[in-house]
Structure 1
Amino acid sequence: MKRLALAPHRLYFFLGALAVLFLFAWWSFSLTVSNASLMQAANSIPLHAIVMPLGIFPLFILGFTFTAGPRWLAVNASDRYFLITGIAYFSGIVLVITGASLAPIMESIGFGMMLCAWLSATWRWAALLGESTITEKQHPTVLLGAMIGGALALSAALAWTLGWSEAWMVARQLTFFCFLLPIFLTVCHRMLPFFTGGVLKPYLVWRPFWLLWFWLSACTTVAVAGVFSWHLLEACAASAMALSFLYTSWRWGLQSSFQNRLLAMLHMSFAWLAVFFALHAATAFGYRLGSASMHALGLGFMATMLVAFVTRVSYGHSGRPLLAGNGIWAIYLCLHLAAMLRVLASILVSPMLITASAIVWLVLVACWVAIILPIYLKPRVDGQAG
């Protein structure tokens, strides 16, 4: 276990993998208990919509940010502050889920712990950003802004557990459109063309900053329009985003990425963004699609991108070849099918398909965690430090 303290990504990815398994197991149990009736899990649905994104992704985000981030900023970040931060955030997740069954106040304490841990990490990142003397800080600065959005989302989630019912929608909109999606888009904007250029030859790197600013502005527009029910504005912004991601996927080389499985995994996940925003626009225009768009985002894009990105980073920082074996590749492809199943379940309003999707996701993430988790407990295979 001492190896978890050697580098931020080891601890954060380890705890993140446990959180993924824990949360998917909780939700699958909530759906299947007592004759597998969705209605009997109705009380857990609002919590599910908040705690799943806030529980699954942030630990992995911190692992990547404090591993790659100091290199981006050309600063030293060798302290072990991350041990307390990571353990506190994970403990908060456990308290939130435990409190859902035992005592509501435990939910509030759990979200409070997650908020405090996140504020600590945000403050740390701001300090590193201030120490850096490099001139190009656009990506790190956007990350800081999104991390502040994360603090606001966690604050709204805490307020919701304390009785402010309107805070639920605020928390959901902030979580996806002012926190997680901006971080995913920023990292994709910086890293996806970079990774692609390392594999495909010849390859012209295209990542203009106006594109990133457009994405971030549209995310903010969708978030605000969603909170105030400005559906026409929301639909127009989502439609524009869908078209932009169709073009970007083509421009970044989706069609050529299958020369390398790990690279193809990143591009295939990115392609879900066009699907998500198309579904989101359709919903805003008045089509009854249930939660199809949000599951296209949370499962289709974010969860599959998480598996693709964390696998690549874990292999690279453990000295392993950047190649996806048959097991990882099969799991990853099945995750896409499971995401499609969940989107279809929302469109058809099928409790049976929703439960089946949850169980399939649990099985698949358990297989992935079984492959990836031991990496963080072992030394690098190339003998290097870290």
Structure 2
Amino acid sequence: MTAPRARRRVIQIRAADTGAAVPGTARWRAAHLLDAPHRLLFFAAALLWSAIAVWWAAVMAASPLGWTLPWAVAPAPAHALLMTLGFMPLFIAGFLFTAGPTWLRLAAPSVPSARTLRWPALSIVIGWGVLLPGLHLDARLAVAGLVAVALGWSALSGRFAGLVRISRADDRLHAKGLAIATVVIVLALWLAALALALEHVTLLRVATCLALWGGLASVFALAGHRLTPFFHPSIARRFETGLLGPVLAGLWLRGAADLAALWSWPWPMPLHVLLAVVHGLLGGMLLVTAFDASLARARRAPMVRLLHAGFVWLGVSFVLESLSQAVLAAGRPTGLGLAPLHALSLGFMATTLLAMASRVAAGQHGRTIAIDRTVLLMHVLLQGVTVLRLLVALWPSAPSGLLLSASFGFAALALAWTRRHAAWFGRPRADALS
């Protein structure tokens, strides 16, 4: 008799284990966008992000190239409107309808499917697609587009508020706060549409200010408090909600100051001093918290490192706001310009968005490695863009190439993220391909 042949052991390696897709195993199909809410809403958000970023890079390149662009809406408020309300809200919606039901202890059929969200999402995408050319050609076109966006967001906000209302979860603090923030975004959109219809630039600035401070920034603070350890340092253990209350109060104070400055300026020196002290104390506390020794182990995880960078930028933005108020108190009329704002928007919000959106996209697509080399390179690019934008704000005589480089870097980041993740959203889960 011959000896039995040894059985060959075959070990299969799944795509999910390496973080890479299996090439050529499935065609991209639009129908897969309806497999889950995050697929549909992240895909729509990514398209808008790319379109808006490329548009602004083209606007920045127009002057050096000698192009004269027509404008039906002033460029500065148009930029603020699109960068505030253009793409971030849809990313937020994708997160709300993915993580929100888990927080609220809800399951099907109570949770809206992607199919039921497709019309609001389509209304939002079409609306911004109409508004973009309207900014240059006819303000009435921009108004029509923004009305479509507001209608779509009203529907999404109403759906999420409905989930919060029917939930019986014990802890609904964050969900309730997020629901209120989405209502603020809806109000800001309708106010912006009215401002465009009336050709009222100040009212448009009010709308974007309301959306930024009362809507988007509040959402990121609430999400950060729920999902990261940095809002719960050892120095704040005596407070049940950690640093959430002080951070929200600081953000709303900055928003209130921005609104007040639209009608009343300049301010008396003591008021600037008071704001400098308040924001300086909060910024210092956030930076101390960011490097709390008790959180050293948590900061080693790749995902947490990215979120940590965003939290550091939050502290930096408050410190810069404090310095800006001090400079204003000293008699310099412009303070530090837009540096504190971009430290918040690009540094804190965009960094946090990049980390969280990449994590949700990878995890929901069956990939166990969410923060890989590609995401880290995108993160580094975003940090470079943020630093460039701050240099431009802090250096009034900076070469025009710095701002142009920042706009092109932001566009490259948007296109890279969209190219990678849009391919995932239209295909089955990676672990289903193995």
TM-score exceeds 0.5:
yes
Name the CA shift for 1:234/1:37 in 2 (closer, same or farther; >3 Å): farther
CA deviation after TM superposition for structure 1 residue 81, in Å: 2.2
Question: Any conservation in 2 of the 1:249–1:270 contact (CA below 8 Å)?
Answer: yes
Structure 2 length-normalised TM? 0.80
- The equivalent of 2:229 in structure 1 is 193
- The equivalent of 2:11 in structure 1 is none
Q: Which of 342, 358, 362 matches 1:295?
A: 342
Q: How many angstroms apart in 1 are the aligned matches of 2:425 and 2:66?
A: 38
**Alignment RMSD:** 2.7
Question: Any conservation in 1 of the 2:104–2:167 contact (CA below 8 Å)?
Answer: yes
Does 2:323 match 1:282?
yes
Structure 1 length-normalised TM? 0.90
Larger relative contact order (C-alpha < 8 A, sep ≥ 6)?
A: 2
1:310-341 per-position Cα deviation (integer Å, ceiling 9, x unaligned): 11111111110134222221221121011101
Q: Taking every aligned residue pair, what percent have the same amino acid on both sides?
A: 28
Q: How many angstroms apart in 2 are the aligned matches of 1:47 and 1:154?
A: 13
Q: How many angstroms apart in 2 are the aligned matches of 1:18 and 1:250?
A: 36
Q: Which of 42, 56, 59 matches 1:27?
A: 56
Does 2:306 match 1:265?
yes
- The equivalent of 1:209 in structure 2 is 241
1:56-88 per-position Cα deviation (integer Å, ceiling 9, x unaligned): 200000000011101111123044321111111
- The equivalent of 1:383 in structure 2 is 432
Question: Any conservation in 2 of the 1:177–1:220 contact (CA below 8 Å)?
Answer: yes
Does 2:191 match 1:144?
no
Q: How many angstroms apart in 2 are the aligned matches of 1:112 and 1:248?
A: 42
Does 2:341 match 1:309?
no
Q: Choose between structure 1 and 2: higher helix proportion.
A: 1
Question: Any conservation in 2 of the 1:186–1:212 contact (CA below 8 Å)?
Answer: yes
Q: Any gaps of 5 or more consecutive residues in structure 2?
A: 1-29, 262-266
| Structure with greater Cα Rg | 2
Question: Any conservation in 1 of the 2:318–2:340 contact (CA below 8 Å)?
Answer: yes
Q: How many angstroms apart in 2 are the aligned matches of 1:251 and 1:367?
A: 34
Q: Which of 160, 170, 173 matches 1:125?
A: 160
Q: Any gaps of 5 or more consecutive residues in structure 1?
A: 197-202
Question: Any conservation in 1 of the 2:84–2:208 contact (CA below 8 Å)?
Answer: no
Q: How many angstroms apart in 2 are the aligned matches of 1:326 and 1:36?
A: 35
Q: How many angstroms apart in 1 are the aligned matches of 2:66 and 2:176?
A: 45
Question: Any conservation in 2 of the 1:221–1:237 contact (CA below 8 Å)?
Answer: no
Aligned length: 378
SS of the aligned residue for 2:432 comes to coil
Q: How many angstroms apart in 2 are the aligned matches of 1:253 and 1:266?
A: 16
Q: How many angstroms apart in 1 are the aligned matches of 2:293 and 2:53?
A: 32
1:190-239 per-position Cα deviation (integer Å, ceiling 9, x unaligned): 01139x9xxxxxx9x96831521222222222222221136535444432
Name the CA shift for 1:329/1:104 in 2 (closer, same or farther; >3 Å): same
- The equivalent of 1:12 in structure 2 is 41
CA deviation after TM superposition for structure 1 residue 181, in Å: 0.6
213-222 or 169-178, which moves further after superposition?
213-222
Question: Any conservation in 2 of the 1:36–1:355 contact (CA below 8 Å)?
Answer: no
1:113-171 per-position Cα deviation (integer Å, ceiling 9, x unaligned): 11111111111111111111112110011101111111222123222212223213312
Q: Which of 324, 336, 360 matches 2:409?
A: 360
- The equivalent of 1:77 in structure 2 is 111
SS of the aligned residue for 2:366 comes to coil
